[in-house]
Structure 1
């Protein structure tokens, strides 16, 4: 099972990223551990300055923009 983290302080882009992750999982019929990391100190542990950040299995896939559903699906298939 994949582990997905969305790093962000709860802004609109962060929420859109979360929604797109959930839609991609639903479309693929997959389950994953999805975690929203909103604590600024925890986000800084990942050494990122721009959010949202999409991480899959501790690998940063997208930083500083909203990942679209089809892009997320491609990440999840690999």
Structure 2
């Protein structure tokens, strides 16, 4: 199962990224665990310098920006 993590402190961009991820997963019809990480210590521990950040299976694929639904779908299909 794919594990997707959205790291961010809860700002508007972080929320939008989380919504985009949920939409991409739904459109692709894949089984994925989508987790929202808002704990600042966990974000720092992950090495994130700019939020929001998107991790897929433990690998950072976007940081400091909000990929749209189509880009997220493309990242998930790689």
TM-score, L = length of structure 2: 0.96
Superposition RMSD in Å = 0.6
Q: How many angstroms does 1:47 deviate by? A: 1.4
TM-score, L = length of structure 1: 0.96
Q: How many residues align?
A: 78
Please list every run of 5 or more consecutive structure 2 residues that lacks an aligned counterpart in the other structure: none
Superposed CA deviations along residues 10-67 of structure 1, whole A, max 9, x for unmatched, are 0000000000000001111112011111000000001112100000000100000101
1:1-78 to structure 2, matched below 5 A, reads 1-78=1-78
Please list every run of 5 or more consecutive structure 1 residues that lacks an aligned counterpart in the other structure: none
Q: Which runs of 4+ in 1 moved over 3 A?
A: none
